[in-house]
């Protein structure tokens, strides 16, 4: 493996985040804090507890997951789109670097930035409500798998998009609504039976549920189902990226 190439791509992408630290770090943390204050104050005053957990603490995993999904996609999609936009992607493709090393550099950096944001949000939330993590190993596992999976999705979007507008379509019009409807601010057990069944077709439910279980030991769906859904999504994204490099889809034209 060409570790120098992976390190060069990874370092460049991480430095880009520090050059735009207000947009990359502070903006998602600030928006999450506003979500926490608004929902915690408006709804928390009416709902004291859910499954024995205070409402303020209950929404913390969902808020972290909301930013983790969107930031993973945005970081990875912008990271690979800019070389395509400027034409420097041809230098990368002609260099002695394998597709795996290219993906590892870009996706690794995007996932790292998302995880940093998630941890900062977790520390910020601890200032508002007491947080207890019952299963820290599982929490880290879901954090890593989710960041990697959606960074891979962002990489796919960055190759697919032919304009800056399309980079925003999936995270804003698909991922964010699915996250809001995926049990971020409530337990799906609070819904009528019919809507509980419908909600189970939302893949984000499994991510939020598994992540919340690692905090409080409560979940809307089985833990193995959450883990299996995350791993399946990761494998599907890897398959799509492999196909893109093999066919040169929007990489060589």
Residue 35 near residue 63, CB atoms below 8 Å: yes
Q: What is the DSSP string of 21-80?
A: HIIIIIHHHHHHHHHHHHHHHHTTTT--EETTEEHHHHTHHHHHHHHHHHHHHHHHHHHH
Q: What does the block give as tokens for 159?
A: 């190759």
Beta bridge partners of 50: 53
Q: What is the pLDDT along the chain (253 residues), one digit of tens a residue?
A: 888 989 999 999 998 877 777 666 777 878 877 877 777 667 766 777 888 898 888 999 999 999 899 989 999 999 999 898 888 888 888 888 899 999 999 999 999 999 999 998 898 888 888 888 999 999 999 999 999 999 999 999 999 998 888 888 888 888 889 988 998 888 999 899 999 999 999 999 999 999 999 999 999 999 999 999 999 999 999 999 999 999 989 887 6
> What predicted TM-score, i.e. pTM, was given to this entire model?
0.92
Residue with tokens 């943390």: 29
28: buried, middle or exposed (CB in 10 Å: 19+, 13-18, 0-12)?
buried
Residue 248, phi then psi, degrees to nearest 5? 75, 25
């Amino acid at each position: 493996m060409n570790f120098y190439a992976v390190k060069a791509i990874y370092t460049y992408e991480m430095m880009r985040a520090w050059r735009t630290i207000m947009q990359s770090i502070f903006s998602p943390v600030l928006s999450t804090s506003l979500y926490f204050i608004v929902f915690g104050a408006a709804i928390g005053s009416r709902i004291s507890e859910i499954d024995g957990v205070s409402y303020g603490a209950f929404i913390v995993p969902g808020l972290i997951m909301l930013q983790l999904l969107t930031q993973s996609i945005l970081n990875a999609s912008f990271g690979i789109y800019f070389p395509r936009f400027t034409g420097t992607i041809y230098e990368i493709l002609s260099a002695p670097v394998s597709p795996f090393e290219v993906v590892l550099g870009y996706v690794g950096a995007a996932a790292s930035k998302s995880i940093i944001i998630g941890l900062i949000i977790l520390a910020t939330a601890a200032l508002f409500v007491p947080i207890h993590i019952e299963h820290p190993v599982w929490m880290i596992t879901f954090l890593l798998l989710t960041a990697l999976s959606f960074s891979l999705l962002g990489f796919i979007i960055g190759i697919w998009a032919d304009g800056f507008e399309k980079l925003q379509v999936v995270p804003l019009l698909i991922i964010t609504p699915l996250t809001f409807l995926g049990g971020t601010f409530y337990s799906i057990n609070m819904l009528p039976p019919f809507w509980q069944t419908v909600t189970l077709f939302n893949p984000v439910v499994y991510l939020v549920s598994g992540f919340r279980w690692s905090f409080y030991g409560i979940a809307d769906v089985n833990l193995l189902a959450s883990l299996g859904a995350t791993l399946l999504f990761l494998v599907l994204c890897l398959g799509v990226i492999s196909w893109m490099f093999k066919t040169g889809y929007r990489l060589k034209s």
